[in-house]
Each structure stands twice: as C-alpha cells, then as structure tokens.
Chain A
Amino acid sequence: MGIAVRNEGTKVNSNINVTPMVDVMLVLLIIFMVITPMLQNKVQINMAQVDNPTAMPDADKEDAIVVAITRSGDVFIGQNKTAISELGVQVREKLADKPGKTIYIRADARAQYRAVEDAIDAVRTAGVEDVGLLTQKREGNLSGGE
C-alpha cells in the first residue's frame, strides 16, 4: 500500500498544471493585441490642452488621415515622415476615393504656427475644407499653457 501511494504521488506531480499558464498566456496575448496598434500609429507629440474639445472618435479609425507636426517642425502623415512640399500630393492621393473627408492635425503645443499654417495650406490645396485640430482636454483648473 505504501509503495502504491508513493507511485500515485509521483504520477500526479509529474504533470505540469497547464491551466493557469494558459490563462496567463491568453491574458498577455490580449494585452499585446490591445497595446500594439496604439504604439504603432502615434508620433510622439505633446498636444495642446484646451477646455472645450469635442470628441473625435474617427481620428482613431484605421482610414483616418492624421497629419502630425512635431515641435521641431517635422511633418508626418500617419507614421511616415514627409516634406511639407509633398504633403498636398500625398493627401490628395489618399483622398482620391472619398473627397470631403476631415483631415486631422496633431500639432505639438509648441510647434510654430507657421508649420501648422503650411500644413493647412497643403491640405487645402488638396481640396480639404474641414480639419480637426487634435488636442487634449485640460485637467484641473490650470489657466494658460505652462
């Protein structure tokens, strides 16, 4: 009897308990599925903070055209760096199938307004009439930008 009990014990312990491992793996999978698209389509930018922004859920859609302007004046369309002189052509290409779409501009709070103006002019020549300037909602009661 004693030998039989021992054998039983070794048999049970020799199996790896897979269920919690699978749990953890699935959870990790979900986390990475959620986080990776967020990390991919964003250029690092400190957006301006305002009090009355409207929600723009379309800016997160996959087919949204987002023009990012960094503090140093570099222009990105989506995630690709581009020259301001080619921005109009590229936006026009992307807009070919659906004119009248809103273009989103993610400008850094400290970017020179001139760079933003140039970008606006470029998308204007591509036939855009409606732009969304992406900002953040101001938290707390701070007045004035930094």
Chain B
Amino acid sequence: MSMTTGGGGSYSSDINVTPMIDILLVLLIIFMVIVPVTPKGLDALVPQPPKDKQQQNPTDRTIVVQVLREGGKVPSYKINETDVYNGVGGPAAQKELQARLTEIYANRAERIMFVKGDDNLDFHYIAEVIDIGRAANVDHIGLMTPKIMAGE
C-alpha cells in the first residue's frame, strides 16, 4: 500500500495547467478592457473677455480660424478673413488649412490660435480644426464663443 502511495506521488508530478490558463485568460481580458479606456483629448483654453474694453491687444499677429457652414454639408475654413480653400472643402480643405497654419507658425515664438465655429455645425468639425492646430504645433488654442466676442 505504501508503494502505491509512492505511485500517487509520481501521478501528481504533472503541473495542473487548466486553472493556470483560466487565471491567465481572465487577466488578459481584464487588461484588454482597461487599456483602451485611458482618456485622450484636446487641450483648449477659454479666454476671458477683457475687463477694460479700451485695452485691446494689437490684432495683426492674432490668428483666428473660423469654421463656417455655408449651405454645404462640410464646412469651409477662414484664417482671419482669408478663405483657405476655394472648393467644396472636406479633406483637401483640411490639408490646405494645416499647410497654411504650419507655414504661419513655422517661425513664431508665441503659438496661439483661436477657433471660432458656427453655431449650427456638428462638434466634430471643430474638434478636427483643433486637431489640425495641434498638428501644426500650436501650443495654445483658445475657443471663441459669441458671448466672449460680445464681451460678456
């Protein structure tokens, strides 16, 4: 009988892999769930309107990108008062906007840009413009709202 117990010892010398695989799979699933949740986003500033109306900054170096909706489904873009792209817009206009912004900010120390969007646009168009600004190495992006323009 004691000899058979020795046989039992050789029986248990195999590692029982099944529960180990169970636990490893569960850990895998947990990490698959956790990793994509790290939130990402675009940093933006909200400028406060000037308290003193007289004390306005010189505007010739300020860049305001306007996102306009003019009938069509895709918006058109303006840098200050200049149209960016003559055409239907879409990806080509976005590329052109990025090229222009990169050119403008290529040799500038203060990289500040303002974004002003039409009220009835979808939010993702504005997010795309902020994204283009980031791609053009703009450090600070300010969001202009109609109330800020009105000085409220």
Contacts and interface: CB of A to CB of B under 8 A. Distances in A.
B49 to A, nearest CB: 9
B34 interface: yes
Interface in B118-152: 118-128, 130-131, 134-135, 143, 145-148, 152
Contacts of B131: 50-53, 135
A112 to B, nearest CB: 6
B19 interface: yes
Interface in B9-54: 19, 22-23, 26, 29-30, 33-34, 37-48
A76 B37 CA distance: 20
Contacts of B29: 31
Contacts of B127: 48, 50, 109, 133, 135
A50 B42 CA distance: 9
The size class of the interface chain A forms with chain B is 35 or more
Nearest to B34: A34
Contact of B42 (A23, A27, A53, A111): A53
Contacts of A112: 119-123
Nearest to A144: B91
Nearest to A23: B19
B150 to A, nearest CB: 10
A120 B43 CA distance: 13
Contact of B41 (A31, A54, A144): A54
Given A120-B145, A145-B124, A31 B30 contact: yes
A34 B30 contact: yes
A51 B42 contact: no
Nearest to B25: A27
Nearest to B69: A113
Contact of B122 (A30, A109, A121, A129): A109
Contact of B39 (A50, A52, A56, A108): A56
A131 B44 contact: yes
Interface string A97-137: 00000101001111111111100110110001111111111
A20 interface: yes
B45 A130 contact: yes
A121 B46 CA distance: 9
Contacts of B47: 129
Interface of B: 19, 22-23, 26, 29-30, 33-34, 37-48, 74, 90-91, 94, 117-128, 130-131, 134-135, 143, 145-148, 152
Interface of A: 20, 23-24, 27, 30-31, 34-35, 38, 48-57, 59-60, 69, 102, 104, 107-117, 120-121, 123-124, 128-137, 143-145
